[in-house]
Amino acid sequence: MNYVLDRIYADVESLAATEFGQPNPEVRRPPKESEAIYAVPCFQYAKEKNTNPIKLADGLSAKWNQGLQAGSLIERFEPARGYVNVFVKKKTLLARILKNLRDFGEDYGNYPEINKTIVVDYCSPNIAKPLSVGHLRSTIIGQALINILRARGYRVVGINFLGDWGTQFGKLLYAFEQWGNEKKLAEEPIQHLLELYVRFHKKAKINPALEDDARAAFKRLQQGGEKERALWQRFRGSSLEAFEKTVARLGVKFDHNWFESEFEERARELVDELLAKGIAEESEGAIIIRFKPLWPAESPEPPPAQPPLVIRKSDGTTLYPTRDLASALERIERFQPVHRLLYAVASEQTLYFSQLWNALEEMRKRGFFKHAKINQPGILKYIPFGMVSLPTGKISTREGRIVYLDELLDEAERRAQEIIKEKNPDMPKDARAQVARKVGIGAVIYADLSQDRIKDIVFDWSKMLAFEGNSAPYLQYAAVRCARILAKASPEDRKRLEEPKDADIPRMVAEIEEPESIELLMHLGRFPQAIAEAAERYAPHALASYLYDLAAALSRFYTEVPVLKAQTDAARLARLTLVEATGRVLRRGLALLGIETPEEM
């Protein structure tokens, strides 16, 4: 069983591949106004062959038309200024889409399993610090990618990589000894640890000797001091619990929580191995990896020239990058066969991740991945994203304006409550709170995912929560509307919808005549491809914009085409089928983005 548009695409691709003699020729979606389903650009090949692309497209169209078999879904090829446009048998295509929608049911959009693992590093906050808005974006984008890649068939492992190591823990240990409060640590761990951290820095400014005390405390922790370890364990435990509670509000549950400190030992060994293989070298007592300015052409993402990466300080201790490298190796070994390691981290860390990318690439070439089942260049895939700002400016803990994510999410829910109260005054209070949760949180998630992730986000509550325009409530409302229409259908109609027979399909297709109905069904047919595209480009936003277009197509359909009042039985069934499928795809698509759809709103 497969998706009809994927079939057509594959057929066109293989025709072009044979003709051009290359495995992955370009096949495009023509502009919206075109009736063609795909277009094959001939410019590249014409250039290679030193001929005119227009002539080439003419010749190819004629040749491919001749080769067409009677049973093919493709109706004809037509040249258009250097492109070969592909036209399909519309009614047959519509019937196949209906059949796909019926046969796949709730699984519509999912692909069969691919035996390749993608490991996604996301959220990944530092212990004893509040989650930042950057971590919010990482969590939202990471979770959406996890869902989308799973739907695409990959095996996906999500890892929350917690920063729990470094001299700052010496400061906290010291500060807690001095000013700590057991009760506060239990109740509000993050706030309390942050307070202690700030207090330490204030005091250390006046009395720099405190820094030595902190260093000594961290040393004791490193050496396994019982008291220090116990306290540090509690910092970790209570912080993690708080993080998990917050992200649960976004529907997120990590497959794994990995602590940076767990890679300390492996990191130390790794430094020696890197030295032995000549990847790392000594420099003023420290150990560094120096990057050559030019990298072999096999690298898919040539990075800019960059400073060396320090992996061991002159005092013999490892650093964050060393532990990151050790943890990357562990991911490759443990989750075989690993196709990619994704890191959803703010674009501020571009330089760091290009260093990691290079270091891993050099390691791969020197046999570090030799036991890995997949051994391809560029295993690390950095997923950067832009900054978030409130209308009043940048959100940053450094500037002292801390935004607690829980407060931000509370605010979203509170605003959603008010809007729903206004739109639907009769809804009981309990139900309203539930709906407000889905709408408010959904609005935050969608505001993030509806644009290219690399762009900065400006929080605009009213745009985010608007029922019109490109927002979560608009899409959720479209899905709710579908459910409302279905609820009004007669029991007989609903029964027929649930168990459509093969013979119903041609009858329904005959009734799908209006441009709005055709457009809606065609768009429904593209859902699997939207998922595939979002997966391939690691771009949840491709799926978001698909859903927005779907909601818009529904709204045009709904304005122009009567559903429950359709003239004939067959027409009513066809239109109800469209409504049911649209509701299903909207709900499923939103769920892939991490957004729940309320029953009512």
Q: Which residues bind ligand ARG (CB under 6 A)?
A: 121, 124-126, 161, 163, 324, 343, 345
Q: Using the minimum distance from each CB to ligand ARG, give the nearer residue, 324 or 516.
A: 324
CB of 164 to ligand ARG, least distance (A): 10
State phi, psi for 122 to the nearest 5 degrees.
-150, 165
Q: How far is the CB of 321 from ligand ARG (least distance, A)?
A: 8
- Closest separation in Å from C-beta 568 to ligand ARG: 59
What is the Cα–Cα distance from 411 to 440, expressed in whole angstroms? Answer: 8
Query: How many whole angstroms separate alpha carbon 525 and alpha carbon 93?
Result: 9
Nearest distance from C-beta of residue 331 to ligand ARG, angstroms: 10
Amino acid type, 143:
Q
**Residue 283, helix vs strand vs coil:** strand
CB 437 within 8 A of CB 443: no
Residue closer to ligand ARG (CB basis): 324 or 596: 324
- If residue 338 lies in a helix (H) or strand (E), which one and from where to where? strand 338-344
Smallest gap, in angstroms, from Cβ of residue 163 to ligand ARG? 4
Residue 571, classed as helix, strand or coil, is: helix
Q: How do beta strands 338-344 and 117-121 pair?
A: parallel
Closest to ligand ARG by CB, 321 or 377: 321
Q: Which amino acid is at 287?
A: I
Cα 183 to Cα 181: distance, rounded to the nearest angstrom: 6
Nearest CA to 184 among 220, 238, 236, 140?
Answer: 238
Smallest separation (angstroms) from ligand ARG to the CB of 261: 12
Minimal distance, residue 173 CB to ligand ARG, in Å: 20
Q: In what order do the strands lie in the sheet with 457-458?
A: 393-394, 388-390, 457-458
* Separation between Cα atoms, residue 465 and residue 412, nearest integer Å: 8
Q: Which residues contact 325 (CB under 8 A, 6 or more apart)?
A: 267, 270, 311, 356, 359, 360, 363
Which is closer to ligand ARG, CB of 88 or CB of 341? Answer: 341
CB 134 within 8 A of CB 396: no
User: Which of residues 125 and 540 has its CB atom nearest to ligand ARG in the complex?
Assistant: 125
Beta carbon nearer to ligand ARG, 121 or 413: 121
DSSP 383: E
Rounded distance, CA 264 to CA 171, Å?
19
The least CB distance from residue 250 to ligand ARG, in Å, is: 17
- Which residue's CB is nearer to ligand ARG, number 349 or number 451? 349
Could you tell me the smallest distance in angstroms from the CB atom of residue 21 to ligand ARG? 42
State the minimum distance, in angstroms, from the CB of residue 329 to ligand ARG. Answer: 12
Looking at the DSSP bridge assignments, the partners of residue 458 are 389
Alpha helices in 207-294, H assignment, sequence order: 209-222, 226-248, 264-276
* 286 phi and psi angles, rounded to 5 deg: -95, 165
We find the least distance from the C-beta atom of residue 319 to ligand ARG, in angstroms, to be 12
User: 268: closest CA among 326, 182, 335, 343?
Assistant: 326
Residue closer to ligand ARG, measured from CB, 27 or 345: 345
162 versus 479: smaller Cβ distance to ligand ARG: 162
Nearer to ligand ARG among residue 121 and residue 228 (C-beta): 121
User: Would you say 131 or 521 has its CB closer to ligand ARG?
Assistant: 131
Task: Tell me the CB-side half-sphere exposure of residue 511, using CA atoms within 13 A.
Answer: 22
What are the DSSP calls for 413-458, one per residue? HHHHHHHHHHH-TTS-HHHHHHHHHHHHHHHHHHHHHTS-TTS-EE
